[in-house]
Structure 1
Amino acid sequence: MSRFLPIPAMELFSDHPNDEGLPGKQRRRAMLAVMTATTMAVFDGTIINVALPQISQALQTSAAVSIWVSNAYLLATAMTLAAFAALSSRIGFRAQFSAGLAVFTLASLGCALSGSVTLLILMRILQGLGGAAMLSIAPAIHRTIFPNRLLGRILGLNAVLVAASTAVGPVLGGTLLAMLGWEWIFAINVPLGVLAVWLAWNAVPDTRKPAQAAFDLAGALWSALAMGALIMAADTCARFAEPGQGSGAAFTAAAYAVTALLAGLAFVRGQRRAADPLLPLDIFANPRFSLAALTSLASFVGQGIAFVALPFLFQNAYGYTAFESAALFTPWPLGIVLVAPHAGRLADRHSPALLSSLGLALFALGLVLLALLPDQAQPWDIGWRALVCGMGFGFFQSPNNREMLGNVSRERSGNASGVLAIMRTFGQCLGAALLGVILAVRTAAAVAQGELQMNPVQDGEAIRIALWLAAAATALATAVSASRLRRKAESPA
């Protein structure tokens, strides 16, 4: 395999006398297993939204019910991320990753064979559980199998894979739907999953260690409740602008948000008292890790706002079709593909904090450029601004992830990987919720003026406000990231 890769990628499998991790040959197989699983999960997330109208029609259900085909997976994943990150230290990366892959693959087959929307939603919950078992520890597996000198490079390559999958997903999904039907967006996972399970079981290392105390079940329940309520709050906020939602949606969102806050506080309190906590809070004692986590959270708030806002701008304000909107968004992941591998390679040699800060500054600039789009923007004008966003985010993500994983011990890499996944999910949900509030306020203002809903001009104004907020969140992330430059590097324990 290495002879087909460019020279920098070939270095990923080279052996040096003092290297940590796995030998080059086993490292290659383990990396292929993780990347195949990541591709499956990303494709699934991007394709499903394209397929929902066809699924709704085929299974004779309403659009409101069919949305739960998407939400069930997201909820199951978010609610179990922290639990699986902690469980991995007890049963080992190999057992958990292989089992998660197997569940995801079998559930994909179940989805393809589902004859009712109820069964499909249940299979999607199982898929989400399998996905959480895999994705909660995927970065930690990279940390375990690769030596520190190559960590930035492999994280950059992983960012390229995610971005490329995001860009190709809608096109592949549209092709499968047009030629074979909605069942095949799930069935395509089965052969890939079988291959990935075999590779994972034979290559991913067994990292289990004897448990010192009982599993923190209370922590797992509190974290699940907090993340589940958070997802539901964001989902409700995102529907504020729909006709007939009004104050009822606001009250429901507030109830979910309060539940998430109280459960989160109970979780933190319990972690301080637990003999073997689900999330050891002492990993946050390293300021470089904590600041990297906060940087990730703020950046994903900005990204979450933009990802949800731009389709509204393209379709409601500019009048593009859903397919054209997907094409207009493509330069963003393309920018990540162009930049992320170079950022990862640089992060192995230079300050990850500096590289992250520069990337975030460029990302913020791209969001400002999108917010300044004219009322009737041409595709090329949208495309180059989205490209700037992607390049900035690609230059930020790999170095920042390296900073997080590199500032904990290898024994704690599973916990750090879980924190990384939680910051991403939390940030994106908060971004979606903020956009929902903006749309709700602007829609209420339009109704007060005697209109049934916002017109294209008002839609454009509301989305531009959201994009300015996304730029502000990213500017905050830049400031947090830059604060790391004043601190000396600390070696993990």
Structure 2
Amino acid sequence: MVAILLGIALSVLDSSILNLALPDITRHFGASPSSAVWVVNAYQLATLGLLLPCASLGERFGYRRVYLAGLAVFTLASLGCVLAPSLGLLAGARALQGVGAAGMMAVNAALVRLTYPVSVLGRGIALNSVVVATASVAGPTIAAVVLSVASWPWLFIIQLPFGLAVFLLGRRALPTNVARMPQAVLRPADVLMNAAMFSLVFLAADALGARGGGAPDARALGMAAALLAAGVLVAWLYLRRQWHLSAPLFPVDLLRIPVFALSMCTSVTAFAAQTIAFIALPFLLLEGQGRDHFGAGLLITAWPAATVLAAPLAGRLIARVRGGLLSGVGLLALAAGLALLVLLPDAPANWQLAAALFLCGTGFGLFQSPNNHIILTSPPLARAGAASGMLGTARLTGQSLGAVLLGLVFSVAGVRDGGAEIALGLAAGLAAASAGFSLLRLRK
């Protein structure tokens, strides 16, 4: 359990810990801010593009091997980040870190399924969700503490002993999977098309400027449209190749299971709603309501704090309440909380904002664990790796979709002229649609 939780915490922390250090990295290498952003993008692109290939490797050669190999690559790449003499080599080392993180994240949930007895599997998945949520929130805080006393390379130095310790512990403790898929062969063309499909969507979101919270210009909109069109074309060709394979890299065989497909739709739309809200909220609080950064940050913390509290409760309820119903109720709460944020007066009290955000976080915490439980347990055990890879893929795809939609909202309505409220309304609609997908599972 410790090896699994620390590994996923390392990979999630690394995706958010570096944002605060980008100005320091820019000054250190004498680079432009637009170039320095690729230190973050390289990690995310490598992770997104290789999740499913790593999951396929896990099904063929064993989840334990892929997890430990990913952890070793991640730790060595952290050392490479410390020693990188240029921005280009730092971005390359970060991409290598992303490869290692993909190895860990792709099979993490499959290892959870092998580790926990069936009677408490829901609690194990909930504990994983709590660690992911906590690590996501803790990243900027840890970075702020480290950067207040040391330079940016120490963000990677502190990862080295943890990576080594988790590797040694994992070699002793992690289980091996008996049920494997020897026919799961990685074809280079499929791997390239998989990476291209996800990368084009990610780059479209980046071109819209939504990841940085800015409003895109006409050139950025044209670039984003071209990238999205290319992504759709690659996806069509790629999925046609996968459709009739017995162990496809992109698990279309699992998407033929109705409850699995509905769970993926639930996850993608829920994470799209969360991403829109997380990026739009600072604009609402800082620009729309004139709050300071400390006060806004403290209010936003109510969301992840509620998620951390609600996820263990959801884990205990999984054995008693049907997952589609429990997730659906949570997502309706998320939609209600987002709608409240839009309907509050122009100058709401702190308690009103905190209550709405706490409701959002509680709903998200109730949704995530039962939804992940259905995704992980509805396929056959031999395809647990593919299901595990799809967990991370759904999260990252939803986040990219949310960024694209938010960029479109900001391009039409502007950032300050009501754009944040429109974005939160869109997020509420996506959360309600996600609840609909979840409740449809009750019929399956």
Give runs of aligned pairs for residues 431-442 of structure 1, distance below 5 A: 431-442=402-413
User: Residue 352 of structure 1 corresponds to which residue in structure 2?
Assistant: 323
- The aligned amino acid for 2:312 is P
Q: 1:183 to 1:325 in 2, by over 3 A?
A: farther
User: Residue 422 of structure 2 corresponds to which residue in structure 1?
Assistant: 465
The 1-side partners of 2:347 and 2:26 are apart by 33
- 1:246 matches 2:217: yes
User: Residue 133 of structure 2 corresponds to which residue in structure 1?
Assistant: 163
Which structure 1 segments of 5+ residues have no match? 1-30, 444-453, 488-493
- 1:277 matches 2:234: no
User: Residue 116 of structure 1 corresponds to which residue in structure 2?
Assistant: 86
Give runs of aligned pairs for residues 62-461 of structure 1, distance below 5 A: 62-207=32-177, 209=180, 211-212=182-183, 214-238=185-209, 242=214, 246-274=217-245, 276-443=247-414, 456=416, 458=417, 461=418
Q: Could you report, residue by residue, the CA deviation over 1:308-333 in whole angstroms, capped at 9, with x for unpaired residues?
A: 21122233323445454433221111
CA positional deviation for 1:213: 6.4
- The aligned amino acid for 2:203 is M
CA positional deviation for 1:382: 2.3
Q: 1:215 to 1:485 in 2, by over 3 A?
A: same
Q: Could you report, residue by residue, the CA deviation over 1:147-174 in whole angstroms, capped at 9, with x for unpaired residues?
A: 2211110111111112222232222211
CA positional deviation for 1:257: 0.2
Please state whether the residue corresponding to 2:346 is helix, strand or coil: coil
Please state whether the residue corresponding to 1:479 is helix, strand or coil: helix
Q: Could you report, residue by residue, the CA deviation over 1:211-251 in whole angstroms, capped at 9, with x for unpaired residues?
A: 236423322211111000010011112359858x5221111
**Between 433-442 and 310-319, the greater mean CA deviation after superposition:** 310-319
- The aligned amino acid for 2:255 is F
TM-score (normalised: structure 1):
0.86
- The aligned amino acid for 1:469 is L
- 1:476 matches 2:433: yes
Please state whether the residue corresponding to 1:115 is helix, strand or coil: coil
C-alpha contact 1:153 1:348 (8 A) present in aligned 2: no
Seq. identity, %: 40
CA positional deviation for 1:380: 3.4
- The aligned amino acid for 2:337 is G
C-alpha contact 1:100 1:134 (8 A) present in aligned 2: yes
CA positional deviation for 1:298: 1.2
C-alpha contact 2:214 2:410 (8 A) present in aligned 1: no
C-alpha contact 1:303 1:470 (8 A) present in aligned 2: yes
CA positional deviation for 1:439: 0.6
- The aligned amino acid for 1:111 is C
The 2-side partners of 1:108 and 1:323 are apart by 31
The 2-side partners of 1:241 and 1:342 are apart by 33
Q: 1:140 to 1:241 in 2, by over 3 A?
A: closer
Q: 1:115 to 1:126 in 2, by over 3 A?
A: same
User: Residue 14 of structure 1 corresponds to which residue in structure 2?
Assistant: none
The 1-side partners of 2:303 and 2:428 are apart by 15
C-alpha contact 1:155 1:402 (8 A) present in aligned 2: yes
The 2-side partners of 1:148 and 1:140 are apart by 13
Q: 1:170 to 1:320 in 2, by over 3 A?
A: farther
The 2-side partners of 1:311 and 1:49 are apart by 16
Q: 1:58 to 1:322 in 2, by over 3 A?
A: farther
Please state whether the residue corresponding to 1:392 is helix, strand or coil: helix
The 1-side partners of 2:332 and 2:99 are apart by 36
CA positional deviation for 1:60: 1.9
**Between 124-133 and 403-412, the greater mean CA deviation after superposition:** 403-412
The 2-side partners of 1:74 and 1:110 are apart by 17
Match of 1:43 among 6, 13, 28: 13
CA positional deviation for 1:378: 4.1
Please state whether the residue corresponding to 1:432 is helix, strand or coil: helix
The 2-side partners of 1:369 and 1:60 are apart by 45
- The aligned amino acid for 1:212 is Q
Q: 1:213 to 1:315 in 2, by over 3 A?
A: closer
Q: 1:70 to 1:378 in 2, by over 3 A?
A: farther
Larger radius of gyration: 1
C-alpha contact 1:241 1:440 (8 A) present in aligned 2: no
User: Residue 443 of structure 2 corresponds to which residue in structure 1?
Assistant: 486
Q: Could you report, residue by residue, the CA deviation over 1:383-429 in whole angstroms, capped at 9, with x for unpaired residues?
A: 22111111000001001110111111111110011112111111110
Q: Could you report, residue by residue, the CA deviation over 1:34-60 in whole angstroms, capped at 9, with x for unpaired residues?
A: 110111122222221122122222222
- The aligned amino acid for 2:153 is E
The 2-side partners of 1:364 and 1:99 are apart by 40
**Between 121-130 and 160-169, the greater mean CA deviation after superposition:** 160-169
TM-score (normalised: structure 2):
0.95
C-alpha contact 2:213 2:280 (8 A) present in aligned 1: no
Q: CA RMSD in A?
A: 1.9
CA positional deviation for 1:95: 1.0
CA positional deviation for 1:483: 1.0
